[in-house]
Amino acid sequence: MTRLVNVSNRVAQPRGDTPAGGLAVGVLAALREHGGVWFGWNGRVVSGEPAGPKLEEDGNVTYATIELSERAFELYYNGFSNTSLWPINHYLLGFFRYERREFDEYRRVNSLFARKLIPLLQPDDLIWVHDYHLIPLASELRRAGVENPIGFFLHTPFPAVEALRVLPVYEQLLRAMGAYDVVGFHTPRDLRCFNDALESIGGADHAAVDRRAPGKPHPLHTDVFPIGIDVEGCQQLAMQTGEQDNVQRMVHHLHGRQLLIGVDRLDYSKGLEERFRAFSRLLEDYPAIRNQVSYIQIAPTSRAGVRAYDDIREALERSAGMINGRFADIDWVPIRYLNRGFDRGTLMAFFRETAVGLVTPLRDGMNLVAKEFVAAQDPEDPGMLVLSRLAGAAHELTDAVLVNPYDIDGVAEAMHQALNMPLGERQERHQSMLDVLRRNDITAWRTRFVDALLSAREQRKAG
């Protein structure tokens, strides 16, 4: 019987019957359909040698989790993964740093993942690896003799080769990606960049990449698999939770004003400082809307203890204070900056009450908040999405108000356009975007990728 073995840096175990969203929704649906294992780090850091894997059963899904040592957390996770790969993938080279010892630990942790995973594998398993933390995992599994089909999906952008070359070990990582059977990306641009990178090392025909699989060489299948959302689930959550106390308090304190909302993990790639400046410019250039709009920015902390993330939190707190100090009135606070998270139901209900959703990252692989905002809207009176052209979602949601997040004046103008868009135009744009979301929903994403892995298995058997 074919099982699916999902491998990611962190394991997202659902609370009750509801996963956190995004990746967890699609992966859990695939695991429950096929039965299988979700393997990865449990979030715990230990001073000694990591234990595990610890196994927990939930129906036909097994959660297999391991710990990380303090050294691994600092060098593999905070180090190479998030100060080398993350900024390179998002074209933010000012945040890039490389240290050889961090890359050595990155490879060591991938080897650890492989060693801990191998005893759990069965001959017919399909292995699906997620994201930049685990690029070398297939090479480690192949070196140990694993013949199962292995797929890799990159949830961040894949950078252009000229940005990628900044990384001293980029050729090693490209060759390691060749050990997979299937490699998937969010957008056609990401796929083109990957193929250009392969060509730059003489591997456009995949002859130069890492093919350590036992037996005959196998083809590398690359494709675009844009991740989607559970559209109906978002709509139901938005309607079901609209009567919750915190949602009603939010609506009450608007006092009839139009609401702009942003929901982002606190990260320098999300363009939050630029967005705050654009909102300030909106209030400068269109004084008539002062006291007529309110902006709520929800930005829960991520990667606490990393200097770059501490700096952006402090910068946003200063910016929010300056905006409020300059424009606030006795009965109006222009911007509410909330450095905390909310459950998905509450967010969907917030979205449904919002006139304008602001999703303006400096670069993003997809950005599911953009899709969830659209899905949560009331089709009779939908809010409008202002979306960065540099987010993967812009390839699909072409009827959003698209902006360049570096253009402060342009983003301010887009906010004003969205706030004043006629109802008929909002309805037409919303329906068009909703049709796209339904075609490319979370089920389509995981089904297409699993089908590609099944095809790879048949090719292996035939070849």
What are the sequence ranges of the domains in the chain? 4-228+442-462, 231-439
Q: Is 155 a catalytic residue?
A: yes
Is 232 buried (19+), middle (13-18) or exposed (0-12) by CB count in 10 A? exposed
**CATH class of the 4-228+442-462 domain in this structure:** alpha beta
pLDDT mean by block of 10 residues, the chain; 463 residues:
92 60 74 91 89 90 95 96 97 96 98 97 96 97 96 98 97 96 97 95 57 56 95 93 85 92 95 98 98 96 70 93 96 94 93 97 97 97 98 98 98 98 98 97 94 92 75
- Third-level CATH fold of 231-439: Rossmann fold (3.40.50)
For residue 301, what pLDDT is reported? 81
Judge whether 4-228+442-462 and 231-439 match in fold: yes
Among residues 230, 364, 399, 441, the one annotated as catalytic is: 364
Q: Which residue is it, tokens 């394991």? A: 11
For residue 25, what pLDDT is reported? 74
- Both tokens assigned to 232: 């109906």
Among residues 90, 130, 133, 155, the one annotated as catalytic is: 155
Identity (one letter) of the amino acid at 324? Answer: N
For residue 211, what pLDDT is reported? 47
Alpha carbon distance, N-terminus to C-terminus of the chain: 21
Residue 127 near residue 149 (C-beta atoms within 8 A): yes
Q: Is 364 a catalytic residue?
A: yes
For residue 213, what pLDDT is reported? 44
| 41-46 contacts, C-beta under 8 A, 24 or more apart | 41/9, 41/10, 41/11, 41/65, 41/66, 41/67, 41/68, 42/10, 42/11, 42/66, 42/67, 43/10, 44/68, 45/69, 45/70, 45/73, 46/70
